[in-house]
């Protein structure tokens, strides 16, 4: 293992900031960044070697790779964490504008929804990952929630409940079971998994996450967060009677007063099912 990778791993072990999931993602990004720096020609580095030229080279590569703004900003947050832990905060500019990183464009009225059909799922060799993907699509779960899912705990008949330890922000929540397809999926999951979770007994969450990432990448699946977009758009049409703006439905400007009231109530309900605290955030999923 290269010296930089080893030292960054040590910093992660010594600084347990954030949830277990946050720590795991941070460690993954730091190893990725260390490997990229080596590939870019910055060899023989240690954790205290970080300089502005390294930031500039990394951001230039990320922009050239056309990574999403959100991904780049997440990596910048990890770079700042690294700089702070070695007492070199000034090495990384406080503003992303300094690097020419664009602002996120949250509302585009363009659908980011995606679905998986039977032939898609047959490409996934791991049965646990296959079920996790189906849960993401059927209930709009986040990836971590779908990996940590325990049918014996979650299945409450007319709804599923998610443990706080599975969710972003540590907030438990419930999601209604509305369709025969959802019910059959839960029954298949319970039959296959029993009282356990969708993490095999011989793996940790981080190991299962890596399997998820590897298998989905190997078959060309990307942006699986789009399964949550699909769930939100299906729920919106179910509750309102018309498609969301992102799915080709009417925008807010043409809704009647009564329709706007229904729209607001629906967005709040879906935001709670998705685990968001504000209905406004649904514009990312549904358009506006």
Q: Domain check: are 168 and 83 in the same one?
A: no
Q: Residue 240 to residues 140, 198, 235, 249, 279: CA-CA distances in angstroms?
A: 18, 34, 8, 11, 15
Q: Domain check: are 210 and 233 in the same one?
A: no
Q: Domain check: are 132 and 169 in the same one?
A: yes
Residue pLDDT, tens place only, 230-274 = 999 999 999 999 999 999 999 999 999 999 999 999 999 999 999
More confident residue, 70 or 56: 56
Q: Can you state the percent helix, strand and coil of the chain, rounding each to 5?
A: 60, 5, 35
Mean pLDDT, residues 103-113:
74
Domain assignment of residue 272, yes or no: yes
Residue pLDDT, tens place only, 211-237 = 998 999 888 887 788 999 999 999 999
Domain assignment of residue 186, yes or no: yes
Confidence of residue 104 (pLDDT cuts 50, 70, 90): low
Q: Residue 209 to residues 79, 191, 252: CA-CA distances in angstroms?
A: 22, 23, 38
The terminus-to-terminus CA distance of the chain in angstroms comes to 49
CA 132 to chain centre: 13
Domain assignment of residue 111, yes or no: no
Confidence of residue 20 (pLDDT cuts 50, 70, 90): confident
- How far apart are the C-alpha atoms of 233 and 24, rounded to whole Å? 31
Report DSSP letters for 188-249, one per residue: HHHHHHTTS-SS-TT--HHHHHHHHHHHHHHTT---TTHHHHHHHHHHHHHHHSS--GGGT-
Spell out the residues 6+ positions from residue 192 whose beta carbon is closer than 8 angstroms to its own.
127, 131
Q: Domain check: are 89 and 137 in the same one?
A: no
Domain boundary among 65, 99, 133: 99
Mean pLDDT, residues 26-41:
93
pLDDT of residue 111: 87
Number of independent structural domains in the chain? 3
Domain assignment of residue 176, yes or no: yes
Q: Domain check: are 17 and 93 in the same one?
A: yes
- In this structure, the chain runs to a length of 288
Checking phi first, is residue 169 left (phi over 0); if not, alpha (psi -120 to 50) or beta? left
Query: Is pLDDT above 90 for 112?
Result: no
β-bridge mates for residue 189, sequence order: none
pLDDT of residue 106: 58
Quote the DSSP letter at residue 155: B
For 264, the domain range is 228-286
Domain assignment of residue 109, yes or no: no
Q: Domain check: are 167 and 253 in the same one?
A: no
Q: Domain check: are 170 and 210 in the same one?
A: yes
Mean pLDDT, residues 35-64:
92
Give the percent of the chain with pLDDT over 70: 98
Domain boundary among 162, 184, 218: 218
Domain assignment of residue 16, yes or no: yes
Query: Is pLDDT above 80 for 278?
Result: no
Q: Domain check: are 91 and 24 in the same one?
A: yes
- How far apart are the C-alpha atoms of 35 and 58, rounded to whole Å? 11
Q: Domain check: are 213 and 239 in the same one?
A: no
Q: Domain check: are 43 and 67 in the same one?
A: yes
Domain boundary among 99, 115, 146: 99
Confidence of residue 110 (pLDDT cuts 50, 70, 90): confident
Query: Is pLDDT above 90 for 97?
Result: no
Q: Residue 127 to residues 2, 44, 193, 199, 222: CA-CA distances in angstroms?
A: 35, 42, 10, 11, 19
- How far apart are the C-alpha atoms of 6 and 12, rounded to whole Å? 10
- How far apart are the C-alpha atoms of 200 and 223, rounded to whole Å? 24
Q: Domain check: are 181 and 93 in the same one?
A: no
pLDDT of residue 188: 94
Checking phi first, is residue 242 left (phi over 0); if not, alpha (psi -120 to 50) or beta? beta
Range scoring the smallest mean pLDDT among 47-51, 79-83, 208-212: 208-212
Query: Is pLDDT above 70 for 107?
Result: no
Query: Is pLDDT above 80 for 105?
Result: no
Mean pLDDT, residues 172-185:
96
Mean pLDDT, residues 127-151:
96
Instruction: Give residue for tokens 């032939």.
Output: 119
Confidence of residue 75 (pLDDT cuts 50, 70, 90): very high
pLDDT of residue 224: 87
Q: Domain check: are 61 and 130 in the same one?
A: no
β-bridge mates for residue 159, sequence order: 176
């Amino acid at each position: 293992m290269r010296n930089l990778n080893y030292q960054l791993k040590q910093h992660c072990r010594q600084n347990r900031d954030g949830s277990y999931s946050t720590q795991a993602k941070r460690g993954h990004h730091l190893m990725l960044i260390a490997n990229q720096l080596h590939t870019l020609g910055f060899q023989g580095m240690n954790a205290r070697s970080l300089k502005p030229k390294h930031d500039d080279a990394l951001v230039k590569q990320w922009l050239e790779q056309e990574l999403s703004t959100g991904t780049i900003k997440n990596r910048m947050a990890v770079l700042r964490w690294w700089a702070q832990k070695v007492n070199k905060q000034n090495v990384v500019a406080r503003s992303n504008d300094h690097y020419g990183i664009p602002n996120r464009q949250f509302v585009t009225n363009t659908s980011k929804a995606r679905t998986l059909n039977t032939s898609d799922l047959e490409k996934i060799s791991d049965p646990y990952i296959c079920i996790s993907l189906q849960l993401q699509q059927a209930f709009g779960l986040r990836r971590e929630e779908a990996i940590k899912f325990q049918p014996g705990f979650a299945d409450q008949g007319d709804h599923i409940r998610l443990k706080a330890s599975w969710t972003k922000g540590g907030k438990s929540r419930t999601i209604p079971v509305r369709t025969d397809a959802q019910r059959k999926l839960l029954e298949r999951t319970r039959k296959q998994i029993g009282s356990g979770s969708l993490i095999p007994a011989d793996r940790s969450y981080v190991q299962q996450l890596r399997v998820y990432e590897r298998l989905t990448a190997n078959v060309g699946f990307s942006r699986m967060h789009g399964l949550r977009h699909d769930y939100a758009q299906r729920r919106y049409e179910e509750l309102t009677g018309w498609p969301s703006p992102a799915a080709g439905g009417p925008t807010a400007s043409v809704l009647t007063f009564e329709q706007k009231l229904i729209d607001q109530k629906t967005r709040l309900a879906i935001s709670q099912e998705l685990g968001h605290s504000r209905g406004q955030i649904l514009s990312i999923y549904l358009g506006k």
